[in-house]
Amino acid sequence: MSDRPTTPTRRLPRAVLIANRGEIAARIARTCRSMGIRAVGVASDVDVDATHLAACDDHIRIGGASPAESYLRADALVEAAQRAGADAVHPGFGFLAEAPSFARAVLDAGLNWIGPSPEVIETMGDKLEAKQRMAAAGVPLVPGAELPPEPTDNDIRAAGERIGLPIIVKAAAGGGGKGMRAVHHLDELADAVASAQREAGSAFGDDRVFLERLIASPRHVEVQIVGDAHGNLLHLFERECSIQRRHQKVVEECPSPGIDAEVRAELTVAALAAARTLGYVSAGTVEFVVDEEVLARRRAGEAVPARDAIAFLEVNTRLQVEHPVTEEVVAVRDEATGTLESIDLVRWQLLVAGGFPLPASQDRIVARGHSIEVRLYAEDVPAGYLPATGRLTAFDVPALPGIRRELGVRAGEAVTPHYDPMLAKVIATAPTRHEAAARLAAALAAAPITGVTTNRDLLVAVLRDGRFLAGATTTAFLADHLDDLLARVRPAPREQARAALFAAVHHTVRGGVEGRAGVPPGFSNTGVVWEQHTFLPAGLAAVGAASARPEAEVGSVDDPGAVTARGGLTVRLRARRDASFDAEVLTGVPAAFLDADGEVVYAGGVRVHGYGAHHLDVEVEGHRQRVTVAGGGSASRQVQVLGPGLGIVDLDVVPRSPDRSRVAQPGATRAPMPGVVVTVAVEEGQPVREGAVLVTVEAMKMEHRVTAPQGGTVTQVRVAPGQQVEADEVLVVVQDPAADTAADRDAVHPDGGADGDAEEAVQ
């Protein structure tokens, strides 16, 4: 089925246009340049200073901020390639990577397409046709049902009854977890189909969906395959990608910790059969669901066939986000010397597209060690994985041994609502899985990231979790253990107090006498004046003082047995002439918010031995250490402190006067992020119950439902479908008569207002 010539001409591209952005564009550019191939980047209007462009030799501007105006414009991308003198196009992943029309447009323009043929992309991009092809090839499938072009509620319900609950609704096109909904009650199926259709239409331009039986305890395991135009076809073993949220992968690893050798053999045989029936050329991935219940029975000694554990999911006709873990583990053995050579899948793609045969045979492919990758997302995990926007005031991942960094952003860069919220991938490789997990957790825990909320704390918790380390990973892992994982990464009161002390010292040292030759840090010629800094646990300061009154009961800042601390921490510093400080840490918030200073939890000396833009070498009561302090400057009210024994502590710098503009009116629901209103489900005067859906907002290619914070009557509807909204913009106001009466008694609402919950669309 491939359209590659039988005897292809062997010639590498001279220049490759990379039709993508972010970390994957930078990663492709690095390989191109290492092979002497010019890398041409592209940029939307908001990406003209983006990180990926620095990795390219040059770049072309292609249009407006939204994907539809830029990265999804096949005509603009082909024109950019021609303007830049490129003779090939690499699509990366996402956007148009699996659009057969784009591949055809590239080929019709006389350019080389770095990927499988448009016919293969078209067949596998249509998941319905893909299932039919795989069934004919003898590949195991999950039971499912197609839906008519415009299904009625009766059509949908009948299909659901045939399959049986639970059910997963899937988009027929695209990938990345978009257009997918899990359904556990038939009454919810029609709404789930409609929501999935809207999301699929927005993300892929194709709103067709189908239904499949949802396997209760699956692992998500995939096989990397590569083929060339000479008839060679290889598998590069498997990856496990079971830890997911919203049906999108979060942690990936190679090899899978949960399957045995017989199941691995069944997976690779089925993957090669799938690729062979397609005449697959280039790199691709065959994805499977693996039933953990069947695996458990096999571990218990039951004679269950390995084939019963696996079922075909889909073929991704592109480079996968998680391809680095395969590159880190899989190698090619030199036949003469026995030495192992690492692989570069982008290099292999370029060789294959240039007509060269694959530089290896199956018997020379070996695996060694273990590699784990995490996806660092801009998102608020406790808020339901809500995508986050903002400007990164600090962003770095330390280049520790065994750590590979694929960074898509840098400090100072804005995270906008226009694109996927993935900021970076961080990969750790080691001889064993436990070592790889420990390395990766340490690197993430030492990474200063401020200005934008991320999932970094959750990733660290997963990597250090005993269940994860035991290999007990299914796609339900995060859903089952999220509250426990988040509770264990929440900084203890002792760590919060120490972090506040270090942040205050760092700010004082850098802001006081920096740049004055011969003057020690923190110098004072009086030793009398106390300087005061106040912090709140991240997120509390934003709603105003009224909601931040703490209840505190804290032991010594250096006492491991310190008990509970809730609310704010005030640090008082008095500089000595020898560059040390007298210091006090108190519970409570500033005098503007509280009549009393609070309770002293630490009083003693602090000595500064050195400092930099983002670090502090400091000694407290004989304990000297280096801590990282990020943020907290004039551009940010957030400060993050990382160091030995601290973990990751995020604090908000409390201004000397409360920001009353942030106090919400009672019953107001606000936009969780910048986005576009998709639907408005209520009208003024309508009674609603607590938790009822008021507005659906689309941002970062996902739908988010904003719900009523309380029962009552809708008194204001401030938005309409199609309207662009900014973060925190009021959408709907729901008046609760009881709350309104209480508000009349108080000049300031005692809880600082109540924003509606931003709830992720059912995934």
Instruction: Spell out the domain ranges in the chain.
Output: 15-114, 143-213, 218-489, 493-653, 664-760
> How many angstroms separate the most distant Cα atoms in the chain?
87
- Nearest 5 degrees, angle CA 575-CA 579-CA 582? 40
**Least trusted range by pLDDT, from 179-183, 270-274, 509-513:** 509-513
Residue 145 in tokens = 């049902």
- CATH for the 15-114 domain, from 3.40.250.10, 3.30.70.120, 3.40.50.620, 3.40.50.20: 3.40.50.20
Q: How confident is the model at residue 419 (pLDDT cuts 50, 70, 90)?
A: very high
Would the pLDDT of 102 be above 80? Answer: yes
- Annotated catalytic residues are 318
Q: What are phi and psi of 577, to 5 degrees?
A: -75, -15
- Element housing 22 (H / E): helix 22-34
State the pLDDT at residue 8: 64
313: left (phi over 0), alpha (psi -120 to 50) or beta: alpha
CB 42 within 8 A of CB 59: yes
Would the pLDDT of 632 be above 90? Answer: no
Q: What are phi and psi of 123, to 5 degrees?
A: -65, -45
Q: Bridge partners of 42?
A: 60
Arithmetic mean of pLDDT over the chain: 86
Q: How confident is the model at residue 701 (pLDDT cuts 50, 70, 90)?
A: low
Question: End-to-end distance of the chain based on CA atoms, in angstroms?
Answer: 35
What is the arithmetic mean of pLDDT over 127-145? 90
Query: Quick one: CA torsion of 164, 165, 166, 167, rounded to 10 degrees?
Result: 50
Distance separating alpha carbons of residues 730 and 668, to the nearest angstrom: 6
Distance separating alpha carbons of residues 679 and 696, to the nearest angstrom: 5
Q: How confident is the model at residue 202 (pLDDT cuts 50, 70, 90)?
A: confident
CATH dotted code for 664-760: 2.40.50.100
Q: How confident is the model at residue 698 (pLDDT cuts 50, 70, 90)?
A: confident
Percent of the chain surpassing pLDDT 70: 85
State the pLDDT at residue 636: 53
State the pLDDT at residue 700: 66
Q: 73, 70, 87: which is closest to 32 by C-alpha? A: 87
State the pLDDT at residue 751: 35
Residues 728-753 have pLDDT tens digits of 789 999 987 665 544 444 433 333 33
Q: What are phi and psi of 221, to 5 degrees?
A: -125, 135
Provide the CATH topology of domain 218-489: D-amino Acid Aminotransferase; Chain A, domain 1 (3.30.470)
Provide the CATH topology of domain 493-653: Glycoprotein, Type 4 Pilin (3.30.700)
Give me the numbers of helices (H) and strands (E) for the chain, helices first please.
18, 43
CATH dotted code for 143-213: 3.30.1490.20
Query: Quick one: CA torsion of 446, 343, 349, 359, rounded to 10 degrees?
Result: 180
Return the number of other C-beta atoms located less than 10 Å from residue 340's C-beta: 14
Return the number of other C-beta atoms located less than 10 Å from residue 512's C-beta: 16
Residue, of 383 and 554, whose pLDDT is higher: 383
Q: 245, 467, 266, 286: which is closest to 377 by C-alpha? A: 245
Return the number of other C-beta atoms located less than 10 Å from residue 261's C-beta: 8
Would the pLDDT of 757 be above 50? Answer: no
What b-and-e string marks burial along 599-623, b requiring 16 or more CB atoms within 10 Å of the CB? eebbeeebbbeebeebbbebebeee
Strand pairing of 390-391 and 414-415?
antiparallel
Return the number of other C-beta atoms located less than 10 Å from residue 5's C-beta: 9
pTM above 0.75, yes or no: yes
Would the pLDDT of 369 be above 90? Answer: yes
Highest mean pLDDT among 55-64, 484-493, 537-546: 55-64
Residue 402 in tokens = 């065994």
What is the arithmetic mean of pLDDT over 156-176? 87
- Nearest 5 degrees, angle CA 300-CA 215-CA 699? 135
Residue 559 in tokens = 């006492």
E-strand ranges in 116-179 read 144-146, 167-171
Distance separating alpha carbons of residues 298 and 3, to the nearest angstrom: 42
Residues 68-79 have pLDDT tens digits of 999 999 999 999
What is the arithmetic mean of pLDDT over 673-694? 90
**Least trusted range by pLDDT, from 155-159, 357-361, 480-484, 590-594:** 590-594
CB-neighbour burial class of residue 7 (10 A; exposed 0-12, middle 13-18, buried 19+): exposed
The 3-state DSSP class for residue 213 equals strand
